[in-house]
Amino acid sequence: MTPTIRPVHVVGGGLAGSEAAWQVARRGVPAVLHEMRPSRLTAVHKTDKFAELVCSNSFRSDDATGSAIGLLHAEMRVLGSLVLRAADAHKLPAGSALAVDREGFAAAITTAIEAEPLIEVRREEVSAPPVEWDSVIIATGPLTSPALAETIRASTGEDALSFFDAIAPIVHRDSIDFGIAWFQSRYDKVGPAGSGADYINCPLTRAQYETFVDALLTAEKIAFHDFEAATPYFDGCLPIEVMAERGRETLRHGPMKPFGLTDPRRPVEKPYAVVQLRQDNKLGTLFNIVGFQTKLKHGEQVRIFRTIPGLANAEFARLGGLHRNTFLNSPKLLDETLRLKAMPRLRFAGQITGCEGYVESAAIGLLAGRFAAAERLGEALSPPPPTTAHGALLGHITGGHVETIDSGVRSFQPMNVNFGLFPPLGRGAARNTRKSALCARALADLNAWSAMTARHAAE
C-alpha cells in the first residue's frame, strides 16, 4: 500500500498562496488551501476569487530581454506557473506590458484550483496554525488578518513584523556622478562593519538647498487610502516633505545635515547640506538615500531627486513610499528555503516576506510551494542560482540585503525585482547590452536549474 502523503497547509489564497498550492499539487503532494474570504474580507479585497488583483491590472513589462520583471515572467513560464498561465490566457492590449482582464484572470485561477484533485479548499480564517500541521506556507499578504499577525509577531519577536513600510528611494550606484559625489562616513567613523568611507555624499550649496526645499513643498503627493487613514508616522520616520513643512532648516538638521563631511574637491568650503546614500545590498550595486522616505508622486520624486548634485542621471531601482503593509524582517528570520529558522514547520511566501508586487509575490509563492513539496518528498532542492530573477529576489529576502544599525526605521524594506539585485557581469561587459546579457545569463541558468530539479525529482 502506498503511504499517504500528509498535506502541506497553505494559508491565504492570494497571488502567492494560489501559486504555492498549485506547485505543491503539481509535484504530487496534497495541499489544503485556507482562505478567509468571503466570510471575512480585507480592507481592499472585494470578491471570493483566488488571486484577486486589488488595484492595477498590470503585471508590468513583459520584455524578457531588457526588463527584470519581464525576465521574471519568462522564468515563471519555464517553471509552470499557474499565475502566468492565467495571465497569458486573459491578457489585454497594453503595449509591451502584460495587462490582464482581472475578472477572467481570477476566475481562471479559481477554476484551476477548485478542479485540482490534490488541492482541498477550506474557506476559513486561520488565526494560529495548529501544531499538528507540520508543513505550513503562510501567504496572507500585506493585509494579513490581525489575529494571525499577532500569532506571527508572538512567534517571531517584537521587532520582527512591520505593519507599515517606509521606503526610501534606491539608486543604482553606477548611475551616480562621482565627479561630484564622494565616499565618506560622517567624521570618518569606521563603526562595526565599515571602512570610514561607507556613504556616498552629495553636496548642496545654500541656493541649491533652498530650491530643493521649495520643490518638496510644492510637489504633488500621494494621498493615503481610506484604510490607511490612521497611518502613524511610525518609528520617528517622517516623510521628507513633512519634515520640510515643519521648517526650512529641519532637513538640514536631519537627514541632510552637512556636519563631519568634507568634499575632497573643496576641502575648505563646507557644503550647506549633504544628501547621503548608504549601501543597500551585499553586491554593492544599490544605495538608498538615507532618511528620504516619502509620499511624493513617483514622477515628482524622479524630477526632484535628480536636482541633487551627483544624481542628475540617477537611475532608481525603487522609488520611495509609505504604505500599510505586513512584512517580516526576513533576512534575519527566514532560511534560504523561506522557513522560519525558529520554527521550520512554518514557511512564508508572497508580500509578507518583503517582496513587492503581484508577480514577485506569485514567484515567491512558486518557490515556497516547490521547497515545501520537495521537503515532503524527501528530495533535496537547492535554491535557484542568484543570477536568475527568482534567485535574485530570493536573495533580497533571505540574505542579500545589508542590515544597518542606524537609528530610525528598520533597513529591510519591500522591493520589486530589479537588475540591481543580480550579481554584476564581469569586467568588460558592454554597458549598452548589459540588460540583455543579464537576461540571457539568467534564462540559461534557470533552465539548467529547472532541468536539474526535474532530474532529482525523477531519481
- Residues lying near ligand FAD in the complex (CB under 6 A) are found at 11-17, 34-37, 42, 44-45, 54-56, 125-126, 139-145, 148, 225, 350-352, 357-358, 361
Position of minimal CB gap to ligand FAD:
14
Nearer to ligand FAD, 36 or 100 (CB): 36
Nearer to ligand FAD, 73 or 173 (CB): 73
Nearer to ligand FAD, 31 or 277 (CB): 31
Nearer to ligand FAD, 101 or 245 (CB): 101
- CB 146 → ligand FAD: shortest distance, Å? 9
- CB 255 → ligand FAD: shortest distance, Å? 27
Task: Give, to the nearest 10 degrees, the angle between helix 102-115 and helix 82-89.
Answer: 130
Nearer to ligand FAD, 215 or 222 (CB): 222
- CB 258 → ligand FAD: shortest distance, Å? 37
Nearer to ligand FAD, 88 or 210 (CB): 88
- CB 268 → ligand FAD: shortest distance, Å? 49
- CB 56 → ligand FAD: shortest distance, Å? 3
Q: Tell me, what amino acid is at 195?
A: S
305, exposed or middle or buried, with CB in 10 Å at 0-12, 13-18, 19+? buried
- CB 42 → ligand FAD: shortest distance, Å? 5
- CB 136 → ligand FAD: shortest distance, Å? 11
Nearer to ligand FAD, 64 or 368 (CB): 368
Nearer to ligand FAD, 276 or 353 (CB): 353
- CB 435 → ligand FAD: shortest distance, Å? 21
